A and B are shown apart, each in its own frame.
Chain A
Amino acid sequence: MKEMNDKVEAVVERALSAIENAHTTAALEEARVRLLGRKGELTTLLRQMKSVDPEDRPKFGALVNSARETIEKELDERARVLVAAEKAARLELERIDVTMPGRAPRIGKIHPLTRGIMDITEIFVEMGFAVVEGPEVETDYYNFEALNTPQYHPARDVQDTFYVNDTVLLRTQTSPMQVREMEKREPPVKVVVPGRVYRRDQVDATHSPVFHQIEGLLVDHDITFTDLKGTLAMFARKFYGEERKVRFRPHYFPFTEPSAEMDISCAICGGTGCRVCKQEGWIEVLGCGLVHPNVLRAVGYDPDELTGYAFGMGVERLVMLKHGIDDLRLLYENDLRFLSQF
């Protein structure tokens, strides 16, 4: 029995040394097979049970099992260490430079003018305005005549017009849609009209023969000048921010009466006067007024029954102010380096 004891101990000792000397998971697996496999040393030892005294056999069995448990425990322990080390080595090997640029999908940008139009119309949509669009090739009737601007009217001088023939032109303003919408709809009429307009202006930093306007119109019973001020002051707060002041000054448009221009306090100087606001402290942002009775008459509305207000603003100007763009031409060159900034 003493002899068998020694043999078991020797196997355990060899096993522990083999395990310790296994430096890879593969070597360890090899050791596991050599020690515990069907032809392994411990199995071979167990086969010698027959030569052990019958009374010593249970003791011998317990001895071998204990040895197996010891070896298995050591194997598992060693395996955990080796797997962890090998994983760490592999991860180290897979290390990359995360500061290198990513492989981003190419994303395009919406044009800043489109974005401006969307931002502005959205504010009016929230106030219950419907967004409509109209023809750019327009008649003299809708562009001028029906808007209380007959031929030889001094206001026609201000807008140099592209003509197609004597009665057809490229609209100089989005205002003709006031008339078209009133003709088409039953009051109340509450619309905003974004769109392209045309004037014969030489191209420079603030002029282009083609630009964009947004027109607004509300016609209903008992619309007053206070409603006009309320609506546009609300728009200005939402579009420019709460901190900007708003003022209305008398102005002239043939198709509104009384007419006004709305100014906002200059964001650059806060109203004290600077180069951007031409030392005025205020920046003109839109024209507006109550719809002139002659315009209502032109569409067959009774000015004693219905009143309304209208307003119009130049999108380029507002977008340029908002983003600090100093040259209008940039908006129509479509240089991707410019477009990608918005």
Chain B
Amino acid sequence: MPLKWLSDYVDIDLCIDELADRLTMSGTKVETVTDIGDRLNRIVAGKIVSVSPHESVGRLRVATVDLGPRQARRTLVTAAANIGRGDIVPVVLAGGTIADGTEIGEVDFSGVRSEGMLCSAKELGISSDGSGILRLPDDIKPGDDVVSALGLADTVIELEITPNRPDCLCMIGIAREVAAITGATLKMPNTALKEGSERAEELISVKIDAHDLCSRYGARVIQKVSIGQSPIWMQVRLSAAGVRPINNVVDVTNYVMLEVNQPLHAFDYDRMSEHAVIVRRARSGEVIVTLDGEERRLDPEMLVIADPGSALAVAGVMGGLSTEITEDTCTVLLESATFARQSVWKTSRSLKLRTEASSRYEKGLDPETVPLALDRAGHLLETIGAGVAASGIVDAYPSAAAVRVISTDAARISRRLGVDVSSDDVADSLGRLGFSVRVESVANKAKSEGGSLVVEVPTFRGDVQEEIDLVEEVARMWGYDRIPTTFPAGAHVGGYTYEQKKAMQAKTILTGAGASEALTIPFMSVADLDMLRVGQGDPLRDAIRIDNPMVEEQSYMRTTMLPSMLVAIRTNINRGNRGVCLFELGKTYFPSQSLKRGEELRRGENPAVERQVLVCGMAGAYTPRIWHTRERDYDFYDAKGMLEALLEGMGVDGATYVQTVRPSFHPGRTASIVW
């Protein structure tokens, strides 16, 4: 979020540290504060007085540049061909630096000395366009500092926007928060239009077939379009916000999206058959080539924007190649619509295609922004001379969203927070955030079940559903730090369960007996069981399979503690630890009967039988090589001794050991414990 841009919508009187702190403490966490353009140095505007070819190097040109009355003219050598007499261009003087930090010096080009460098947009950090010298607007005079004239030096704040606040994914949203916490006034963007004489509704028609997936579809037609670069100020702002400038029409759609959080899509009007927009479900097997050149197979779960002939765009995700804006585009249809967020979510995932638009639609958008975005885009396109808006918009909005009304009162809010807030506090806090608050008369209060305050929720706050949501709004405007601390009343007896106490006791004994506790990842694979020679019909093979594992080795929940313990032992041995003695008190997981049969689980039922299991592993040298004790390897009796110590410590008497055979263990050195 570039602060200069943000300042268009709200006056910011605070220093950046104060602003960042206030935003963070009111719920819009500032992650980073970065100065951009701070590397640009000694860059001034120059007017080209003359250009001539370099005498010996054919591809180079030599320009004489006027740097205003206070500086001498300079000679500059460039390889770019796009400059001519009278152009105003950015000049890095010798000793200055460009966006990537490169310092520019005086350089001799086969006998001609260049006293600095002419810059492209790329070298100023405005865009990735390094193909030619940037031409500055006429209102910049020779000698002007380019960094300040173009606003290239700025502070960009990166914010963490929580998923409940899609309205904050734009300039206006953040400006509204800043206004609310500072008391400043929110200034909405200019939407004044000239508009041409032709009426949009005579140029296009819009029909929504799938009302459940599209609640509003607005369209505006832009005529006499001339595609070109957008003005530098717009490119500078888009770049600062992390968006690459492309052309004037696309840049305006992106600019408006960043301003008001409404994705806009531009269609080439002349390439739409019958100029009829149909919002419908895709047909089974329908195919569209999207803007990225990929062929996408659609299904009826997905929503498309179509003309009577074919699908033109995947709604809310990506446009189609057939109506892409090109240099030849003369008339543009601008789409501003509200699609069901679940639908965009599903479509984007099944196509494995996430875009800036889809990620905004997924979070839920305000249908009331649809006309604002169209008007704002029309205003900008007209202002920058990219085209003229036809008169009016076509707005298919079959059933306007109802305004949500919540009644509450200060006492109920105070009871949740534990502090006394007054009706005025509530009205003030909510008012600053764009809610309208009405105090109900006492006579009405008896009838209405709720409280004495009736709150109208603005349409952009879809997250505010009920009274408790207002409590949070009041609390964060009030300031969490101003809320005192208390300790809950009531005596409660807590503590550990019998099993937890026994587990702690076992761990104490085992560590006292020389074993260290391991914690492992409770996944396993079929290969692990094969390695352990577990038979095909063995119950250990009855494991819970993970549908979407990260890797095949972790595709099952473990039914035995052995594989992960063996891995831990291997790690130690491989790293040169001579002796290993580890234990783990962990879980094994078996499917419940219901899970196995694929039955629906009863409320409270566990899908798995999770058993607590102790495993102890010993390997390598029993004692490290010490001067007075001879080294020997761990053997069966060490393991048995550890177990005996544990049983004795836990107060278990009378265990006996019976020679036994298990597939994973040495046939002559295995015992089962009978108790």
Q: Which residues of A contact B (CB under 8 A)?
A: 100-101, 103, 105-111, 113-114, 118, 121, 124-133, 135-139, 141, 151-155, 157-158, 162-165, 167-168, 170, 180, 183-184, 188, 190, 196, 200, 202, 208-210, 218, 220, 222-227, 229-231, 233-234, 247-252, 254, 257-260, 278, 290, 292-293, 303, 307, 331-337, 339-340
If A229-B485, A249-B27 touch, whether A331 touches B494 (CB-CB below 8 Å) is no
Contact of B577 among A226, A260, A278, A336 (CB under 8 A): A336
Instruction: Check A209 against B514 for contact (C-beta < 8 Å).
Output: no
If A164-B545, A249-B29, A251-B27 touch, whether A339 touches B517 (CB-CB below 8 Å) is yes
Taking the closest CB of chain B, its distance from the CB of A329, in whole angstroms, is 11
CA distance A167 to B572 in the complex (A): 39
Whether B608 is near chain A, meaning CB under 8 Å from some CB there, is yes
Q: Which of B146-154, B429-437, B579-587 contacts A (4 or more CB under 8 A)?
A: B579-587
Q: A108-B583, A127-B494, A233-B485 known; 11 other A-B pairs, CB under 8 Å?
A: A110-B507, A113-B519, A164-B607, A224-B418, A225-B475, A227-B418, A231-B488, A249-B29, A250-B476, A257-B472, A334-B572
If A154-B363, A180-B604, A188-B492 touch, whether A226 touches B548 (CB-CB below 8 Å) is no
Q: Which of B165, B345, B418 has the most CB of A within 10 A?
A: B418
**Interface of chain A, main secondary structure:** mixed
Whether B515 is near chain A, meaning CB under 8 Å from some CB there, is yes
Instruction: Check A136 against B485 for contact (C-beta < 8 Å).
Output: no
Q: Which residues of B contact A (CB under 8 A)?
A: 24-27, 29, 32, 162-166, 341-342, 345-346, 362-364, 415-419, 466, 468-469, 471-472, 475-476, 480-481, 483-497, 500, 504, 507, 510-523, 544-550, 554, 557, 568, 571-572, 575, 577, 580-583, 587, 589, 595, 598, 600-601, 603-604, 606-608, 610, 623, 626-629
Which chain B residues lie closer than 8 Å to A332 at the CB level? 519-521
Instruction: Check B589 against A227 for contact (C-beta < 8 Å).
Output: no
Which chain B residues lie closer than 8 Å to A101 at the CB level? 626-627
Which chain B residues lie closer than 8 Å to A151 at the CB level? 342
* Interface CB pairs A-B, < 8 A, 29: A106-B514, A108-B511, A109-B517, A114-B507, A131-B495, A131-B497, A135-B606, A137-B606, A152-B341, A154-B363, A167-B600, A168-B595, A170-B546, A183-B603, A210-B521, A220-B490, A222-B489, A225-B416, A225-B418, A227-B488, A230-B487, A247-B25, A249-B27, A249-B480, A250-B27, A250-B476, A250-B480, A260-B480, A303-B468
If A138-B607, A162-B546 touch, whether A224 touches B572 (CB-CB below 8 Å) is no
Which chain B residues lie closer than 8 Å to A231 at the CB level? 487-488
Instruction: Check B610 against A137 for contact (C-beta < 8 Å).
Output: yes
Taking the closest CB of chain B, its distance from the CB of A321, in whole angstroms, is 18
CA distance A339 to B496 in the complex (A): 26
Which chain B residues lie closer than 8 Å to A106 at the CB level? 514, 581, 623
CA distance A341 to B523 in the complex (A): 27
Contact of B547 among A165, A190, A252 (CB under 8 A): A165
If A131-B497, A257-B468, A257-B471 touch, whether A136 touches B589 (CB-CB below 8 Å) is yes
Which chain B residues lie closer than 8 Å to A109 at the CB level? 511, 516-517
If A230-B487, A231-B488, A336-B516 touch, whether A209 touches B468 (CB-CB below 8 Å) is no
Q: Which of A111, A131, A290 has the most CB of B within 10 A?
A: A111
Taking the closest CB of chain B, its distance from the CB of A281, in whole angstroms, is 10
Which chain A residues lie closer than 8 Å to B489 at the CB level? 222
CA distance A36 to B556 in the complex (A): 93
Instruction: Check A335 against B572 for contact (C-beta < 8 Å).
Output: yes
Closest 7 A-B residue pairs measured CB to CB?
A224-B418, A250-B27, A226-B418, A128-B492, A252-B162, A258-B472, A106-B514
Which chain A residues lie closer than 8 Å to B466 at the CB level? 293
Q: Which of A100, A108, A227 has the most CB of B within 10 A?
A: A108
CA distance A227 to B626 in the complex (A): 57
Instruction: Check B480 against A154 for contact (C-beta < 8 Å).
Output: no
Instruction: Check B485 against A226 for contact (C-beta < 8 Å).
Output: yes
Instruction: Check A334 against B518 for contact (C-beta < 8 Å).
Output: yes
Q: Which of A129, A155, A209, A257 has the most CB of B within 10 A?
A: A257
Instruction: Check B497 against A190 for contact (C-beta < 8 Å).
Output: no
CA distance A98 to B69 in the complex (A): 90
Taking the closest CB of chain A, its distance from the CB of B614, in whole angstroms, is 13
Which chain B residues lie closer than 8 Å to A130 at the CB level? 493-495, 497
Instruction: Check A226 against B519 for contact (C-beta < 8 Å).
Output: no
Taking the closest CB of chain B, its distance from the CB of A61, in whole angstroms, is 64
Instruction: Check A107 against B27 for contact (C-beta < 8 Å).
Output: no
Which chain B residues lie closer than 8 Å to A180 at the CB level? 604
Which chain B residues lie closer than 8 Å to A138 at the CB level? 607
Q: Which of B25, B487, B520 has the most CB of A within 10 A?
A: B487
Taking the closest CB of chain A, its distance from the CB of B325, in whole angstroms, is 30
CA distance A139 to B606 in the complex (A): 8
Instruction: Check B415 against A224 for contact (C-beta < 8 Å).
Output: yes
Closest chain A residue to B472, Cβ basis: A258
Taking the closest CB of chain B, its distance from the CB of A162, in whole angstroms, is 5
Which chain A residues lie closer than 8 Å to B595 at the CB level? 164, 168
CA distance A239 to B549 in the complex (A): 36
Instruction: Check A135 against B610 for contact (C-beta < 8 Å).
Output: yes
Which chain A residues lie closer than 8 Å to B488 at the CB level? 218, 220, 223, 227, 230-231
CA distance A128 to B492 in the complex (A): 5
Which chain A residues lie closer than 8 Å to B480 at the CB level? 229, 247-250, 260
CA distance A138 to B589 in the complex (A): 12
Instruction: Check A108 against B514 for contact (C-beta < 8 Å).
Output: yes
Which chain A residues lie closer than 8 Å to B417 at the CB level? 224-226, 258
Contact of A110 among B32, B485, B517 (CB under 8 A): B517
CA distance A210 to B496 in the complex (A): 24
If A106-B514, A184-B604 touch, whether A196 touches B547 (CB-CB below 8 Å) is no
CA distance A126 to B493 in the complex (A): 9
Instruction: Check B494 against A125 for contact (C-beta < 8 Å).
Output: yes
Instruction: Check A227 against B547 for contact (C-beta < 8 Å).
Output: no
Which chain A residues lie closer than 8 Å to B485 at the CB level? 226, 229-230, 233
Instruction: Check B554 against A209 for contact (C-beta < 8 Å).
Output: yes
Closest chain B residue to A190, Cβ basis: B492
If A103-B629, A292-B468, A335-B571 touch, whether A137 touches B607 (CB-CB below 8 Å) is yes
Closest chain A residue to B548, Cβ basis: A163
Which chain A residues lie closer than 8 Å to B610 at the CB level? 135-137
Which chain A residues lie closer than 8 Å to B418 at the CB level? 224-227
